[in-house]
């Protein structure tokens, strides 16, 4: 176990990673994901060294509820891209899984071709208890992939609400997959997600579904107009695609490229700058909360107060002041 | 000044407020809004005593960007309600104004009739630096109004993004006002706001605007279908109204009543219970952040770190760890 945990010297990690060694990239990501203090210091130093080599990939989020066909879609799209000379990294964000539990990409056979493709790198991100924490590590993993020379990073997220919002703060272009419903409506679009989409794809538009997908696409295009109406000079297109029949995939990537062109280098720089600030604010508040919750009195008091607030016995603000008082006093009177 | 700041004994405040004395209600709200520790203790005790008398009003948020006609709309709607025997309280949430600066309702003449109506109570909420803090005080102010016998509380919010989200956590029914644009589209709908609407009103549907408002209403109804598709068993209606011509106002209130009926007593209890928990979590995290930012080293370091993160010189996570280390050590080494 101890041997398995030992990391190569930082110079070796850096050089191997820059040379595109996928084994060392994996080791570096494991270092990033470690919660041990000495690993965090090492990871920080590694990121500092690699910083000048980051930022050169196009970062694309691919989202949608379970069953929408994200993995198959990414498998087909990613293979197309590597065939054309791209190096493609696939990361997954799944804040709902536990630290020890599985990951969204645990079953790698779901990305059959891509996981065996020498120009692709498929890496599941272990889950965690805080969306901010997990997504932050995904961000740093993304930077490592960029330093390793991957020019496209696809960030897959499982559809659990907050994860999509977190991923939208990570990527340059956000692709949302949805399905046509029985009527003209869309299935699998959750509150607050649709308007994050830079490109909306009605997936599984094949066989008997094709006609319904076309209708749902037309209806949702008008809905999207209301949500965006020209924000950032970009009107999100609504496309239909089928990874199963390999149709519409090129059109999706074409839309991603057009979005990239519309954003321009200034727009991209601004977006990434805003994102970095967002993660800084999220990260320090996340750390502050975690440390506060390590206090034994706070940890004991929190569920009691939640219960009182839920039952209407205590006002939220008063309960909050009570909790903070616990956190401050290391030895509260037993009275 | 000292005399102006003295509050009546708590028994007097409680009794006067329950009897519907608007002067004492105002004094109690000022107490709630005070940041002085002894006032907070008093306010907490007052809320505790009044708790059994709260919760009986229907809480309605009225939102929309500046220029959409919120104040005129509330003036006309509120007057209709008092004419029918309701007692109406109007609060405003404006997190964008400074503590010392004005308030959205500073110019009370904008609610000409309602502010002179003996059955209405119009109270601006002073702004603050934190959305959570301001909205939390609005929540407690709302409870005081309920204890004072108001059976309708209208919460006006100025359109600055986060405020609408905060208000949606305060109210039972969220009414969103919008305007028809030059084409068939809506004006003044911002990201993430439209889907909060329980009732969408195309306002200023009068004169030359009437036809465009009808068209925009039909278009946006289909957009709303995509966003909601039956959530909570309620499909948000899209209505047109004009406070200027006093048309459509009754229909809006009718929609609010139908929403209330659709929610039912169980749905309402659940919603309010979720809201209380939301405010508890928001409140303790807000307090924790504020106290952390009171640390001199943290306050000095934060803008420096933000700047480095913005310029890409420092990774967000590393900068966050740096900030937290400052907060922990009361005397960091000068090196």
What DSSP string describes A208-259? GGHHHHHHHHHHHHHHHHHHHTTGGG----EEE-BTTTTBSHHHHHHHHHHH
Tell me whether B136 touches chain A (CB under 8 Å): yes
ipTM of this model?
0.78
Q: What is the mean pLDDT of residues A275-296?
A: 91
How confident is the model at residue B180, as a pLDDT? 86
The answer to whether the CB of A238 falls within 8 A of the CB of A202 is yes
Up-side HSE of residue B209: CA atoms within 13 Å toward CB? Answer: 20
The answer to whether the CB of A23 falls within 8 A of the CB of A118 is no
Residues of B in contact with A317 (CB under 8 A): 44, 136, 139-140, 279, 283
- Of the candidates B139, B280, B316, the beta carbon closest to that of A283 is on B316
The CA distances from residue A88 to A150, A242, B58, in Å, are: 6, 20, 54
Contacts of A207 (CB under 8 A, 6+ apart): none
Tell me whether A323 touches chain B (CB under 8 Å): yes
3-state secondary structure of A51: helix
Q: What is the mean pLDDT of chain A?
A: 84
Is the pLDDT confidence value at B71 over 80?
Answer: yes
Q: What is the mean pLDDT of residues B222-250?
A: 81
Q: How far is CA B226 from the centre of its chain?
A: 26
- Cα–Cα distance, A105 to B129 (Å, whole number): 42
The share of chain A scoring above pLDDT 90, in percent, equals 52
Quick one: which of A142, A129, A45 has its CA closest to A94? A129
Of the listed ranges A172-176, A254-258, B128-132, the least confidently predicted one is B128-132
DSSP code, position A247:
B
How confident is the model at residue A106, as a pLDDT? 45
Confidence of residue B191 (pLDDT cuts 50, 70, 90): low
Q: What is the pLDDT of residues A150-170, one digit of tens each?
A: 999 999 886 556 777 788 889
Looking at mean pLDDT, say which of B48-52, B145-149, B286-290 comes out highest. B145-149
Both structure tokens of B328: 């922990």
Q: What is the pLDDT of residues B75-108, one digit of tens each?
A: 999 999 999 999 999 998 765 543 333 344 444 4
Residues of A in contact with B328 (CB under 8 A): 291
Q: What is the pLDDT of residues A10-49, one digit of tens each?
A: 999 999 999 999 999 999 999 988 878 889 889 999 999 9
- Alpha carbon of B313: minimum distance to chain A alpha carbons (Å): 8
Q: What is the pLDDT of residues B239-280, one digit of tens each?
A: 999 999 999 999 999 999 999 999 999 999 999 999 999 999
How confident is the model at residue A19, as a pLDDT? 95
Is the pLDDT confidence value at A146 over 70?
Answer: yes
Tell me whether B144 touches chain A (CB under 8 Å): no
Q: What is the mean pLDDT of residues B17-31?
A: 94
The CA distances from residue A262 to A61, A256, A258, B171, B263, in Å, are: 17, 10, 6, 39, 43
Q: What is the pLDDT of residues A58-86, one digit of tens each?
A: 999 998 877 889 989 999 999 999 999 99
Is the pLDDT confidence value at A247 over 50?
Answer: yes
How confident is the model at residue B133, as a pLDDT? 60
Residues of A in contact with B47 (CB under 8 A): 315, 318
CA-nearest residue to A227 within chain B is: B191
- Alpha carbon of B113: minimum distance to chain A alpha carbons (Å): 34
Quick one: which of B10, B56, B1, B65 has its CA closest to B32? B10
- Cα–Cα distance, A313 to A185 (Å, whole number): 43
Residues of B in contact with A47 (CB under 8 A): 315, 318
Residue recorded with tokens 């959570």: B132
Q: What is the pLDDT of residues B108-162, one digit of tens each?
A: 447 889 989 999 999 875 554 444 566 778 889 999 999 999 999 999 886 556 7
Contact B276 A40 (CB under 8 A): no
Tell me whether B238 touches chain A (CB under 8 Å): no
Q: What is the pLDDT of residues A106-140, one digit of tens each?
A: 444 478 899 899 999 998 755 544 445 667 788 89
Of the listed ranges A22-26, A156-160, B31-35, B38-42, the least confidently predicted one is A156-160
User: A284, A286, A290, A308: best mutation site toward chain B, by most B Cβ within 10 Å?
Assistant: A284
Tell me whether B232 touches chain A (CB under 8 Å): no
Confidence of residue A335 (pLDDT cuts 50, 70, 90): very low
């Amino acid at each position: 176990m101890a041997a398995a945990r030992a990391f190569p010297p930082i110079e070796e990690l850096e050089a191997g990673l820059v040379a595109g060694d996928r084994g060392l990239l994996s080791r570096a990501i494991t270092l990033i994901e470690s919660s041990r203090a000495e690993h965090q210091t090492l990871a920080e130093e590694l990121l500092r060294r690699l910083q000048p080599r980051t930022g050169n990939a196009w970062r694309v989020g691919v989202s949608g509820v379970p069953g929408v066909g994200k993995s198959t879609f990414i498998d087909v799209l990613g293979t197309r891209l590597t065939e054309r000379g791209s190096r493609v990294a696939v990361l997954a964000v799944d804040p709902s899984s536990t630290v020890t539990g599985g990951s969204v990409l645990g079953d790698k056979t779901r990305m059959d071709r891509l996981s065996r493709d020498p120009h692709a790198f498929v890496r599941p991100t272990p889950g965690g208890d805080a969306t901010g924490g997990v997504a932050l590590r995904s961000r740093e993993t993304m930077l490592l992939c960029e330093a390793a020379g991957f020019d496209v990073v696809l960030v897959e997220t499982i559809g659990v609400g907050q994860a999509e919002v977190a991923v939208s703060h990570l990527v340059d272009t956000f692709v949302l997959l949805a399905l046509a419903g029985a009527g003209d409506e869309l299935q699998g679009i959750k509150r607050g997600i649709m308007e994050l989409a830079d490109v909306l794809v009605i997936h599984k538009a094949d066989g008997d579904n094709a006609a319904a997908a076309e209708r749902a696409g037309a209806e949702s295009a008008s809905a999207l107009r209301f949500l965006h109406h020209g924000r950032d000079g970009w009107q999100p297109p609504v496309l239909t695609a089928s990874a199963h029949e390999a149709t519409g995939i090129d059109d999706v990537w074409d839309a991603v490229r057009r979005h990239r062109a519309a954003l321009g280098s200034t727009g991209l720089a601004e977006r990434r700058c805003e994102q970095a600030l967002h993660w800084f604010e999220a990260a320090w508040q996340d750390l502050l909360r975690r440390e506060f919750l390590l206090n034994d009195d706070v940890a004991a008091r929190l569920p009691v107060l939640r219960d009182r607030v839920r039952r209407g016995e205590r006002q939220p603000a008063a309960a909050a002041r009570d909790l903070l008082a616990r956190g401050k006093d290391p030895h509260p009177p037993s009275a």
